Amino acid sequence: MALGTSKQAWFKVVQLAVTASRSLAWQGQRAQSEEERLYCLEQIADLQDAIHVIVELLPEWERCDEKALRATFLEAYDQRWGHVPPGSLCEELDRHSPPK
């Protein structure tokens, strides 16, 4: 499936979130405390919440409101977690988006 430039940028966000979730799951398994384990689980849940709609929309991308998707899901994640790895999902999207 060939992806358009904008769609590719969103796919990169999904790729980052999935990879980060996997890393956080391993980190949670090795956690020394219940607090650290729960911290990892919370971040995984928020990462997956941020990207689940992207995955649902990929087959019908033309109906996607990208501004609303960014504001509702990516910015919500970034407000809570943007300061810790994997970093800001909005910045990841911008890094892979075509110049305006």
Per-residue pLDDT of the chain (100 residues; tens, 9 = 90+): 445 668 999 999 999 999 999 999 999 999 999 999 999 999 999 999 999 999 999 899 999 999 999 999 999 999 999 999 999 999 999 999 988 7
Query: How far apart are the two ends of the chain, measured CA to CA in Å?
Result: 25
Q: How far apart are CA 43 and CA 25, in angstroms?
A: 10
Cα–Cα distances in Å, from 55 out to 9, 28, 48, 51, 65? 13, 25, 10, 7, 14
Q: Which pLDDT score is estimated for 1?
A: 43
3-state secondary structure 70-94: HHHHHHHHHHHHCCCCCCCHHHHHH
- To 10 degrees, the CA torsion angle through 90, 24, 42, 35? -140
What pLDDT sits at residue 13?
Answer: 98
Question: For residue 5, what pLDDT is reported?
Answer: 66
What's the whole-model pTM score?
0.90
Please state, in angstroms and as integers, the Cα–Cα distance from residue 74 to each residue in 19, 33, 61, 97, following that order. 16, 29, 17, 15
